[in-house]
């Protein structure tokens, strides 16, 4: 008697379990449909190329940031989300690799070059600015987006700040140790710079009126403005250019050409704009900008 | 080593900021902590209660939270410190005073009760007993714990780096970004700067401890 009771309970539990799993399966399917990256199952490549190797292996390791809202942010399930992640999925898809077969690795600013050089990652898509110093140790495909340092002010722009030159004599906030803060110190020494450890404190100080402006890359500022549209506004006059590229091993010309071709395709067929709208665009509320021009240096 | 001479101004001003943060908030903590300890041993219940409440509040709140409250929280009450530096001194001073109070109170408890009884028998009031008989003896026994509190305070000043005060830790953050190829050297310089403050302190504490020790 007791045994049958347990059996019944176990059976009931089983039903609950299968109910759950099918639901989860459905959810995964929906998410899949959401993604702009379709898998090109017919992809085939010349033997001996990096593309053929990855296609053969059916998996790819991609480095991205885990802490950049809109670009690469780890969601509660432990999967990164954002514009960088979508771009990476598009490239992987063209290699015949499904999104769930991508191995994600967190790359922070300091370890991107070493990870590529040591072969720990195949690609890095991590708000990775293309510059000449970095070109000496890695190759870049792209750019797939051009960010720039901009200024955020209180709504209505009471101080009339239109660009970095108007910061003279004003108190401007940024994050200690960041490139935008160093740019203000080096090139706009008339501005009174104060630095916190995170941008949210800068935003608090702008609300309190202790600082008249906050400055960093526009993609970060748009996220802050979106969080408090009544309190803040973006000056919208970027004064540096930060072209974001996809980092890969130095000298792998075929792989770089392939990634560039994929990016150009995605610019033309709308997958790029769609990826933007669903990630960074969803935060800023602005539609996708004009895609940048690929730089085949 | 090039970056040291290139950034000597930054390093020197950061060092002075750390030192003045520690000294000023240390003085605040010493005075306030002693007053709090006197309140905690006083015969008046409201004073005891108030001091206990204060000490338990600041002793059991993370220092970062105290900073956050004094920099961003009190704005909601339309209050504001004149500068981020004064806010940092206040946060460090209030927080550390709770620890000073407990150290001094333990010293007061270590003074044999006969001392206070004799003072009362001679007709001294509570205040006179405390300031002329009990506290002078109490301070002599609490030099080592107060030394601990001081060294902890000197290191706690690094929290101010996150609140717009350019002290040594903020300088560390800035220099590691610009000198990515010499990170270990940057660390060594900053750690050495902290040691310049804390090592002589440890030595001075030992000297004072020997000088003022009570031979019983």
CATH number at residue B132: 1.10.3720.10
For B46-73, give one letter per residue: b (16+ CB within 10 A) or e. eeeeebeebbeebeeeebeebbbebbbe
CB contact under 8 A, B72 and A177: no
Question: What angle, rounded to 10 degrees, do the helices at B8-41 and B183-212 form?
Answer: 40
What pLDDT is stored for residue A36 in this prediction? Answer: 54
For strands A149-154 and A232-234, give the pairing.
antiparallel
Identify from A176, A197, A200 which residue to disrupt to test chain B contact, counting B C-beta atoms within 10 A and taking the largest count: A176
Per-residue pLDDT at A3 exceeds 80: no
Compute the mean pLDDT over every residue in chain A, rounded to the nearest whole number.
84
Per-residue pLDDT at A9 exceeds 80: no
Range with top average pLDDT, A29-38, A54-63, B2-11, B176-185 = A54-63
What pLDDT is stored for residue B47 in this prediction? Answer: 95
CB contact under 8 A, B162 and A201: yes
What pLDDT is stored for residue B180 in this prediction? Answer: 62
CA distance B171 to A41: 52
Q: Is A201 on the interface with B (CB under 8 A)?
A: yes
Per-residue pLDDT at A152 exceeds 90: yes
Residues of B in contact with A176 (CB under 8 A): 161, 166, 170, 173-174
Domain housing B110? 2-212
Cis ω for the linkage preceding A8 (within 30 of 0):
no
Which positions of chain B have pLDDT values less than 70?
Answer: 177-178, 180-181, 215-216
Is the separation of the CB atoms in A177 and B176 below 8 Å? yes
Q: What is the ipTM of this complex?
A: 0.73
Q: Is B64 on the interface with A (CB under 8 A)?
A: no
Total number of domains constituting chain B: 1
Per-residue pLDDT at A61 exceeds 70: yes
What pLDDT is stored for residue B27 in this prediction? Answer: 97
Vertex A230: Cα angle to A170 and A208 (nearest 5): 40
**Domains of chain A with CATH codes:** 43-146+242-284 (3.40.190.10), 148-240 (3.40.190.10)
What pLDDT is stored for residue A34 in this prediction? Answer: 52
Per-residue pLDDT at A10 exceeds 90: no
Is the separation of the CB atoms in A155 and A222 below 8 Å? no
* Distances, alpha carbon A38 to alpha carbons A74, A97, A116, A147, in Å: 22, 9, 26, 27
Per-residue pLDDT at A13 exceeds 60: no
């Amino acid at each position: 008697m007791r045994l049958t009771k347990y059996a019944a309970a176990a059976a009931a539990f089983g039903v609950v379990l299968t109910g759950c799993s099918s639901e989860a399966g459905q959810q995964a399917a929906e998410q899949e449909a959401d993604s702009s990256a379709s898998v090109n199952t017919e992809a085939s490549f010349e033997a001996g190329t990096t593309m053929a190797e990855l296609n053969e292996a059916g998996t790819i390791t991609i480095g991205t940031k885990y802490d950049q809202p809109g670009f690469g942010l780890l969601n509660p399930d432990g999967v990164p989300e954002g514009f960088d992640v979508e771009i990476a999925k598009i490239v992987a898809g063209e290699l015949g690799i499904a999104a769930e077969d991508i191995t994600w690795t967190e790359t922070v600013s300091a370890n991107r070059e070493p990870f590529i050089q040591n072969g720990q990652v195949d690609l890095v898509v991590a708000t990775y600015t293309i510059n000449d110093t970095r070109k000496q140790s890695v190759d870049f495909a792209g750019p797939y987006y051009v960010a720039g340092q901009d200024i955020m002010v209180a709504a209505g722009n009471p101080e009339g700040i239109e660009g970095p030159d108007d910061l003279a004599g004003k108190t401007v906030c940024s994050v200690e140790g960041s490139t935008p803060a160093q740019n203000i110190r080096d090139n706009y020494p008339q501005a009174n710079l104060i630095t916190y450890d995170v941008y949210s404190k800068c935003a608090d100080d702008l609300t309190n009126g202790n600082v008249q402006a906050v400055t960093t890359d526009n993609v970060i500022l748009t996220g802050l403005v979106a969080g408090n549209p009544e309190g803040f506004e973006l000056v919208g006059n970027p004064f540096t250019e930060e072209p974001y590229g996809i980092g890969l091993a130095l000298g792998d010309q075929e792989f770089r050409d392939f990634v560039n071709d994929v990016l150009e395709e995605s610019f033309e067929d709308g997958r790029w704009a769609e990826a933007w709208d669903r990630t960074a665009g969803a935060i800023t509320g602005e539609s996708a900008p004009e895609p940048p021009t690929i730089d085949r240096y | 080593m090039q970056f040291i001479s290139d950034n000597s101004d930054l390093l020197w001003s950061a060092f002075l900021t750390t030192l003045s943060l520690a000294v000023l908030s240390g003085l605040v903590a010493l005075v306030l902590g002693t007053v709090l300890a006197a309140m905690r041993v006083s015969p008046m219940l409201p004073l005891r209660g108030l001091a206990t409440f204060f000490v338990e509040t600041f002793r059991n709140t993370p220092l970062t939270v105290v900073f956050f409250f004094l920099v961003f929280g009190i704005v909601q009450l339309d209050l504001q410190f004149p500068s981020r530096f004064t806010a940092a001194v206040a946060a460090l001073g209030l927080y550390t005073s709770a620890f000073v109070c407990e150290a001094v109170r333990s010293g007061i408890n270590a003074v044999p009760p006969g001392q206070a009884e004799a003072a009362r028998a001679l007709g001294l009031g509570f205040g006179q007993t405390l300031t002329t008989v009990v506290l002078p003896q109490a301070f002599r026994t609490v030099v080592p714990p107060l030394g601990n509190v001081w060294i902890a305070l000197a290191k706690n000043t690094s929290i101010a780096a996150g609140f717009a005060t350019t002290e040594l830790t903020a300088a560390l953050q800035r220099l590691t970004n610009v000198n990515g190829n010499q990170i270990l050297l940057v660390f060594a310089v900053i750690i050495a700067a902290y040691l310049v403050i804390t090592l002589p302190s440890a030595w001075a504490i030992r000297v004072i401890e020997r000088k003022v020790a009570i031979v019983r």
